[in-house]
């Protein structure tokens, strides 16, 4: 578990606490038609300085991995089963020897999380959240009582494969390779299904993790999948986006030809807390200040991080994370670069504040869309 900061970072004299400002101030325009310019928070500059300085110092010092809570004991009656690897040693989670990249990444994220979440006004517990935010959080945390872990799923970050793994661990599926359409609700337990005292117990005692991805790459993946392949999304969201942002669209567009800039304009006008889960910021989905995650994995090294988690939760050795299907073509950095350079720069400046916490908390660099970079 991430330790509490020794000295919470205070807001500058006269500045509003970061947490309160984030809840109060809209980051984008108001709803379409009002034309209000995006409001950038005064405390965001301080926030950027904190993140940049902590990350830079870490890369220089190669600091020690932040202490984490030892993995809790597993339910009795499992000693006779063959487990993958050894149980974590007392005192924290053990990384594979020589995995310096993973250690540095976790150091950056742990230090940044402690700095930002230590700000006055930031939530310390799910019950510090407004009802709507807490409901979103609890609906996105999956529970494995048998293996005593909690997983906050993030759409477009391999969550279908993690749900498949959880169904195998629960004995519902025989193998992660079973070919069937994923049912994202059945045979799964969510924290929202439990009573408050049951939720508190699991948050305190279970191993907790999530997986993250470059925020804009995740948006591009959602755009390509939902508006290029899923008729339901084309009708529900695509048609409205075309009507709202395309001149002369007519009253009944099909919604199957939404452009990426049109999608970005739609995001600018949306309240992050009420977005569809496929493009809602990870911060709002998983609330990493209110929930003290033991591990934050990366889509960029999905297989290695996923198998590390399976070792930590002591999954049976035959349970592995599914390999990526041969036909699957994820959004590449080159494709993302092309789409970002093709979008109006002012539009990107309006979108980025919506996802600034995802960039900063999880140590992803902001995109380089300068004229020189886009000409390369």
What pLDDT, on a 0 to 100 scale, did the predictor assign at position 20?
46
User: Which residues make Cβ contacts (< 8 Å) with residue 365, sequence separation at least 6?
Assistant: 359
What pLDDT, on a 0 to 100 scale, did the predictor assign at position 236?
95
What pLDDT, on a 0 to 100 scale, did the predictor assign at position 266?
97
User: From CA 212, how far away is CA 207, in angstroms rounded?
Assistant: 17
Question: Which tops the pLDDT comparison, 344 or 48?
Answer: 344
CB hemisphere CA count around 136 (13 angstroms): 22
Mean pLDDT of 93-111: 73
Summarize pLDDT for 200-229 with one digit per residue, the tens: 999 999 999 999 999 999 999 999 999 998
Residues 105, 363: contact at Cβ < 8 Å? yes
Percentage with pLDDT > 70 across the chain? 72
pTM: 0.77
Assign 327 a pLDDT band (cuts: 50, 70, 90).
Answer: low
User: From CA 335, how far away is CA 324, in angstroms rounded?
Assistant: 19
Question: Which tops the pLDDT comparison, 317 or 100?
Answer: 317
Mean pLDDT of 350-371: 94
Pairing of strands 141-144, 207-212: unpaired
Backbone angles phi, psi at 146, to 5 degrees: -65, -40
Burial level of 360, CB count in 10 A (0-12/13-18/19+)? buried
What pLDDT, on a 0 to 100 scale, did the predictor assign at position 229?
87
Mean pLDDT of 69-83: 39
Question: Which tops the pLDDT comparison, 305 or 69?
Answer: 305
Which residue is listed with tokens 């629960």? Answer: 170
What pLDDT, on a 0 to 100 scale, did the predictor assign at position 183?
67
CA distances (Å), origin 92, targets 27, 86, 87, 242? 38, 13, 11, 51
String of DSSP letters for 197-239: HHHHHHHHHSEEEEEE--HHHHHHHHHHHHHHH-HHHIIIIIH
Would you list the domain boundaries of the chain? 99-373
| Chain mean pLDDT for the chain | 79
SS3 145: coil
- CA 202-205-211 angle, to 5 degrees, is 75
Does residue 65 register a pLDDT over 80? Answer: no
Q: Which of 296, 277, 279 is nearest to 114 (CA)?
A: 296
Which helix (DSSP H) or strand (DSSP E) does residue 144 occupy? strand 141-144
CA distances (Å), origin 148, targets 72, 133, 253, 299, 372? 8, 24, 48, 23, 50
SS3 15: coil
User: From CA 67, how far away is CA 129, in angstroms rounded?
Assistant: 26
Mean pLDDT of 88-113: 68
Which residue is listed with tokens 């310019």? Answer: 37
Backbone angles phi, psi at 269, to 5 degrees: -90, 0
What pLDDT, on a 0 to 100 scale, did the predictor assign at position 102?
76
User: Which residues make Cβ contacts (< 8 Å) with residue 370, sequence separation at least 6?
Assistant: none
What pLDDT, on a 0 to 100 scale, did the predictor assign at position 11?
43
User: From CA 265, how far away is CA 38, in angstroms rounded?
Assistant: 12
User: From CA 340, how far away is CA 49, in angstroms rounded?
Assistant: 25
Q: Is the torsion defined by CA of 121, 42, 357, 46 positive or negative?
A: negative
Summarize pLDDT for 225-262 with one digit per residue, the tens: 999 989 999 999 999 999 999 998 888 899 999 999 99
Pairing of strands 149-152, 141-144: antiparallel
Question: Which tops the pLDDT comparison, 58 or 60?
Answer: 58
Does residue 119 register a pLDDT over 60? Answer: yes
Question: Which tops the pLDDT comparison, 235 or 2?
Answer: 235
What pLDDT, on a 0 to 100 scale, did the predictor assign at position 81?
39
User: From CA 85, how far away is CA 100, in angstroms rounded?
Assistant: 20
Question: Which tops the pLDDT comparison, 194 or 89?
Answer: 194
- CA 363-349-44 angle, to 5 degrees, is 55
Summarize pLDDT for 120-143 with one digit per residue, the tens: 989 999 999 999 999 999 999 999
């Amino acid at each position: 578990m991430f330790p509490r900061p020794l000295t919470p970072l205070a807001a500058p004299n006269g500045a509003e606490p970061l947490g309160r400002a984030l809840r109060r101030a809209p980051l984008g325009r108001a709803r379409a038609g009002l034309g209000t310019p995006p409001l950038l928070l005064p405390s965001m500059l301080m926030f950027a300085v904190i993140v940049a300085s902590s990350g830079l110092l870490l890369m220089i010092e190669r600091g020690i991995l932040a202490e984490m809570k030892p993995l809790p004991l597993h339910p009795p009656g499992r000693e006779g089963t063959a487990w993958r690897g050894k149980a974590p040693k007392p005192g924290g989670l053990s990384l594979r020897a020589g995995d310096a990249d993973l250690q540095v990444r976790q150091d950056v994220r742990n230090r940044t999380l402690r700095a930002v979440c230590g700000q006055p006004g930031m939530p310390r517990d799910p019950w510090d959240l407004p009802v709507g935010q807490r409901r979103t959080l609890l609906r996105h945390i999956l529970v494995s009582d048998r293996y005593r872990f909690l997983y906050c799923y993030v759409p477009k970050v391999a969550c279908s494969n993690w749900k498949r793994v959880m169904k195998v661990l629960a004995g519902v599926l025989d193998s992660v390779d079973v070919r069937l359409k994923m049912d994202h609700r059945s045979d799964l337990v969510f924290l929202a299904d439990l009573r408050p005292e049951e939720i508190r117990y699991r948050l305190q005692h279970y191993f907790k993790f999530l997986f993250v991805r470059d925020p804009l790459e995740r948006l591009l993946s959602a755009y390509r999948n939902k508006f290029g392949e899923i008729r339901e999304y084309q009708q529900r969201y695509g048609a409205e986006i075309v009507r709202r942002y395309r001149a002369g669209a007519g009253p009944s567009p099909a919604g199957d030809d939404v452009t990426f800039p049109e999608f970005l304009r739609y995001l600018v006008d949306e309240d992050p807390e009420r977005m569809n889960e496929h493009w809602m910021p990870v911060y709002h989905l998983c609330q990493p200040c209110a929930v003290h995650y033991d591990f934050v994995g990366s889509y960029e090294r999905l297989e290695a991080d996923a198998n590390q988690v399976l070792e930590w939760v002591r999954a049976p050795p035959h349970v592995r994370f599914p390999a990526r299907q041969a036909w699957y073509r994820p959004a590449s950095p080159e494709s993302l670069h092309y789409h970002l350079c093709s979008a109006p720069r002012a539009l990107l400046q309006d979108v980025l504040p919506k996802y600034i916490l995802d960039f900063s908390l999880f140590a992803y660099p902001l995109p380089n869309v300068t004229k020189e970079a886009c000409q390369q």
